[in-house]
Amino acid sequence: MTIRVILADDQGLLREAFRTLLETADDITVVGEAADGGEAVALTRELRPDVVLMDIRMPEVDGLTATTQICADPELHATRILILTTYETDEYVAAALRAGASGFIGKGIGAHDLMSAVRTVAEGETLLSPTATRSLVARFLASPDDAALHHSEQLAALTPRESEMVALVATGLSNQEIAEQMFLSPFTVRAHVQRAMTKLDARDRAQLVVIAYETGLVRATPDAWTSRRGKGPGDSAPGPVSRSLRDQQ
């Protein structure tokens, strides 16, 4: 399957660089480019890409607004948003995750990690840097808002096992790791996670992380993610974690 990508960034030179890098992959093709968020939304509705690589800060309509509009459109449910940012610990990134983005990467990312990131979110999985996620949780995601209150009501519909699975997902464990810890099969874990996502109206695992912390199902701790996942490029510079997240779905 070829992954269809739209590049949304106000810097033409950066879009050209990303296009050149991505199109060296046999399974990725860039189907469109947008210079601002409004154009990104229009192109997404027209072209229905698998992934939108979205700069968070653009003139006219920014990436946060565009992400919110795309993720709120039921007809674009299959499109995943991968946020591009210079600063991982940014309130706009937290807002983008709340809106439905599947993850984020730094603009200094290398070619191999960029392609891996696109493939990861295209498969419906989550791409979150451990260090950045820990900081986001501590600064922005742990405070409740109207959405958190709504999700708190939805949490009541979860079975005790499903709640447990959501909490483990929020600490960064993959389905395989959860299965090993709980002495269950990966298939059983996946079934519980998928049912929890359905009950919580979560687009993907990234939203499960947000919901878990906003509702207090999981409390932020300084070492929650690094102790679970180990250190990767995201712990020293912008970029995805070194360990593949593809076993998470």
Name every residue whose Cβ is closer than 8 Å to that of residue 114 and which is 6 or more positions away in sequence. 18, 21, 22, 105
* Number of separate domains in the chain: 2
Contact present, 47 and 75 (Cβ < 8 Å): no
Single residue among 127, 153, 174 that ends a domain in this structure: 127
> Which value, in Å, is the radius of gyration of the alpha carbons in the chain?
17
In a shared domain, residues 158 and 215: yes
CATH code assigned at 206: 1.10.10.10
In a shared domain, residues 10 and 123: yes
Select, from the ranges 146-150, 201-205, 226-230, the one with the highest average predicted confidence (pLDDT).
201-205
Residue 32 lies in a domain: yes
Residue 122 lies in a domain: yes
pLDDT in tens, 112-165: 888 988 998 888 777 765 555 556 665 666 555 555 555 667 788 899 999 999
DSSP string over 152-214? HHHHTTS-HHHHHHHHHHHTT--HHHHHHHHT--HHHHHHHHHHHHHHTT-SSHHHHHHHHHH
Q: Quick one: pLDDT at residue 169? A: 86
pLDDT in tens, 7-64: 999 999 999 999 999 999 999 999 999 999 999 999 999 999 999 999 988 888 999 9
Q: Quick one: pLDDT at residue 24? A: 92
Look at residues 95, 92, 88, 9 and name the one whose alpha carbon lies nearest to residue 55: 9
Residue 240 lies in a domain: no
Residue type present at position 168: L
Strand order in the sheet with 3-8: 28-34, 3-8, 51-55, 80-85, 103-106
pLDDT in tens, 61-109: 999 999 999 999 999 989 999 998 776 556 777 788 888 888 888 888 8
Contact present, 158 and 231 (Cβ < 8 Å): no
Helix (H) or strand (E) holding 32: strand 28-34
In a shared domain, residues 42 and 122: yes
In a shared domain, residues 9 and 107: yes
Single residue among 66, 97, 127 that ends a domain in this structure: 127
DSSP string over 59-119? SSS-HHHHHHHHHH-GGGTT-EEEEEES-SS-HHHHHHHHHT--EEEETT--HHHHHHHHH
In a shared domain, residues 103 and 208: no
Full domain range(s) for residue 202: 144-227
DSSP 2: P
In a shared domain, residues 163 and 219: yes
Contact present, 70 and 87 (Cβ < 8 Å): no
Residue 198 lies in a domain: yes
Query: Per DSSP, what are the bridge partners of residue 4?
Result: 29
In a shared domain, residues 80 and 165: no
Contact present, 156 and 166 (Cβ < 8 Å): no
How far apart are alpha carbons 136 and 214 in whole angstroms?
11
Residue 241 lies in a domain: no
CATH code assigned at 45: 3.40.50.2300
- Residue 165: both structure tokens together: 């699975």
In a shared domain, residues 13 and 87: yes
Residue 169 lies in a domain: yes
In a shared domain, residues 149 and 180: yes
Computed over every residue of the chain, the mean pLDDT equals 79
Residue 94 lies in a domain: yes
In a shared domain, residues 101 and 25: yes
